[in-house]
């Protein structure tokens, strides 16, 4: 029986011919990493290969690791297998991995989106025979509004809150979403404050992107400083002691899940903005068609529904179980990164009147 070019096992996506794993979730010798989110870049591998813009991100999160950086489209050969990285458009430094051996081409997307967000290298169509795709938002109900319209909605919301003398608290994941929001916040409205988890990650990325100035929230920040301004924070900060001194405030969250009203209610968010770093239903279908691939493997998200629909369209589509979790993994990472900051600022209540 022919050995598949890429196979799924208990450690990750494995290329036996090259003895290399793609985004493995257990420690391995050689790992090619698509991007810096916690479910795709894990600690403990002996050797990492990733796009060079992703190196400072994963070093910030994983510590000192043995990592090699590659350029977009740069071919590197391991045991006669050709690999190259191509823009995924998901977050800064995110890649698709192209694998070629004996005329057969597979592409692993990791996570991706096709809308150009203005800070990530835009998604690139890569022709292949087999396409491994996420389907985090693989339902027809997910149909994104253009980014420019959502950003305008966010800035208008901030301005309205300011007119009412309220602080705007906007929740977004500390890697990717927070910087996408930050890039387009209108500083003519007011000042941008940041939670420590977001400030630290943004400082890692500032050499790559021209972001507006931010002010870190510390125990010295006074309650009156927040009025009319906006605070960027990870979702894990919602309901914590950290935000109590920002009253009166209005909360908002930017996520693809905000397309469902129930998600906003469950999280007790005042305002939801539908802004995702993943493809919607239509972008997934368009991307798959553009690759020319006949075989499609769905790895995480609405895998069963989406793969069934692909089969109805005539694709050879199936699902594979992985440990990729999309936004839920980033929630866990943000909770860990936020814990220290929140512990340090718990003494704010002793120094500032609520």
* Residues in the chain where the model's pLDDT stays below 50: 340-354
CB atoms within 10 A of CB 25: 18
Please state, in angstroms and rounded to a whole number, the distance separating the CA atoms of residues 290 and 270.
Answer: 39
| Cross-strand bridge partners of residue 98 | 84, 107
- Taking Cα atoms as reference points, which of 258, 64, 243 lies closest to residue 157? 258
Strand 104-108 to strand 95-101: parallel, antiparallel, or no bridges (unpaired)? antiparallel
Query: What's phi and psi for 227, nearest 5 deg?
Result: -55, 125
Please state, in angstroms and rounded to a whole number, the distance separating the CA atoms of residues 46 and 68.
Answer: 11
Please state, in angstroms and rounded to a whole number, the distance separating the CA atoms of residues 91 and 36.
Answer: 9
State the pLDDT at residue 6. Answer: 98
Tokens (6 digits) for 160: 């309205």
Please state, in angstroms and rounded to a whole number, the distance separating the CA atoms of residues 213 and 149.
Answer: 23
Q: DSSP assignment, residue 352?
A: S
- Taking Cα atoms as reference points, which of 211, 163, 171, 214 lies closest to residue 189? 163
State the pLDDT at residue 334. Answer: 54
State the pLDDT at residue 239. Answer: 85
State the pLDDT at residue 210. Answer: 97
Counting DSSP H helices and E strands in the chain, the numbers are: 9, 19
Angle at alpha carbon of residue 134, lines to 49 and 320, rounded to 5°: 90
- CB of 129 within 8 A of CB of 293? yes
Peptide bond connecting 287 to the previous residue in cis, omega within 30 degrees of 0: no
State the pLDDT at residue 337. Answer: 52
State the pLDDT at residue 267. Answer: 73
Enter the pTM of the model: 0.92
CB atoms within 10 A of CB 190: 19
State the pLDDT at residue 227. Answer: 95
State the pLDDT at residue 325. Answer: 81
- CB of 228 within 8 A of CB of 166? yes
Residues 6+ apart with CB under 8 A from 186: 155, 158, 159
State the pLDDT at residue 330. Answer: 58
- Which stretches of the chain are DSSP H helices? 55-62, 147-163, 177-184, 196-205, 261-266, 281-291, 303-312, 327-345, 348-351
Rounded to a whole number of angstroms, the distance between the first and last alpha carbons of the chain is 69
State the pLDDT at residue 73. Answer: 98
């Amino acid at each position: 029986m022919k050995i598949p070019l890429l196979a799924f096992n208990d450690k990750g996506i494995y290329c036996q011919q090259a003895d290399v794993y793609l985004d493995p979730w257990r420690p391995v010798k050689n790992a090619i990493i698509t991007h810096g989110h916690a479910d795709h870049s894990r600690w403990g591998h002996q050797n990492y290969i990733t796009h060079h813009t992703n190196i400072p991100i994963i070093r910030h999160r994983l510590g000192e690791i043995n990592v090699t950086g590659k350029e977009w489209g740069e071919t590197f050969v391991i045991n006669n297998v050709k690999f190259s990285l191509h823009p995924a458009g998901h977050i800064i430094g995110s890649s698709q991995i192209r694998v070629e051996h004996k005329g057969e081409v597979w592409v692993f997307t990791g996570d991706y989106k096709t809308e150009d967000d203005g800070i990530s290298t835009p998604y690139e169509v890569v022709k292949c025979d087999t396409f491994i795709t996420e389907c985090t938002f693989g339902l027809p109900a997910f149909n994104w509004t253009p980014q420019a319209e959502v950003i305008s909605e966010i800035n208008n919301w901030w301005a309205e809150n300011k007119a009412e003398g309220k602080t705007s608290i906007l929740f977004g994941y500390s890697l990717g979403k927070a910087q996408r929001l930050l890039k387009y916040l209108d500083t003519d409205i007011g000042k941008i404050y940041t939670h420590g988890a977001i400030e630290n990650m943004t400082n890692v990325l500032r050499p790559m992107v021209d972001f507006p100035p931010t002010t870190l929230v510390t125990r010295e920040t006074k309650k009156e400083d927040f009025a009319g301004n906006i605070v960027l924070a990870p979702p894990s900060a919602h309901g914590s002691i950290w935000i109590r001194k920002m009253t009166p405030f209005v909360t908002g969250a930017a996520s693809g899940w905000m397309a469902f009203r129930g998600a906003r209610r469950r999280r007790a968010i005042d305002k939801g903005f539908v802004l995702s770093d993943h493809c919607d239903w239509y972008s997934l279908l368009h991307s798959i068609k553009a690759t020319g691939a006949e075989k499609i493997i769905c790895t995480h998200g609405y895998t069963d529904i989406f793969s069934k629909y692909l089969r109805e369209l005539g694709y050879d589509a199936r699902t594979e179980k992985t440990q990729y979790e999309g936004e839920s993994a980033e929630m866990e990472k943000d909770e860990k990164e936020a814990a220290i900051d929140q512990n340090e600022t718990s003494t704010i209540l002793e120094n500032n009147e609520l």
